[in-house]
Amino acid sequence: MEILGATLRICVDDLDTAVPFYERLAGGTALRFERGGVKVAAIGSFLLMSGPAAELEVLRKVTATIAVKDVEEAHRLLADLGAQIIAGPVPTPVGRNLLVMHPDGTIFEYADQSGA
């Protein structure tokens, strides 16, 4: 499995207020989308999320997003290593993702850009 990088997940109260700061910090423009009632902005190594408290409570449990070349390959390897597959792989607006709990209890999202 080839790991391409990691994205920090940040829950914010107001996405429109937070985005300009992170755009200047990361030196780029946010890619915005909505998923399941949660507004999302991807900027460099930051993934900002804003939405209903119940949705954010679940999202806060995910430590980080790990970018991989192929989610299917990550799925096979992680399952072989004894990780618990929580959800996926499923399509997203920018590729596919997979939620996984490592044997130590840490939860990560693995994502690729296949089919984006």
pLDDT per residue over 58-68, tens digit each? Answer: 889 999 999 99
Q: What type of residue sits at position 36?
A: G
pLDDT digits 0-9 by tens, 31-49:
999 888 899 999 999 999 9
Residue with tokens 């209890």: 105
**Which residues, 6+ apart, have CB-to-CB distance to 63 below 8 Å?**
9, 106, 107, 108
**Rounded to an integer, what distance in angstroms lies between the CA atom of residue 2 and that of residue 15?**
31
pLDDT at 116: 46
Q: Say what the pTM is.
A: 0.79
pLDDT digits 0-9 by tens, 73-95:
999 999 999 999 999 899 887 78
> CB 112: neighbour CB atoms within 10 A?
24
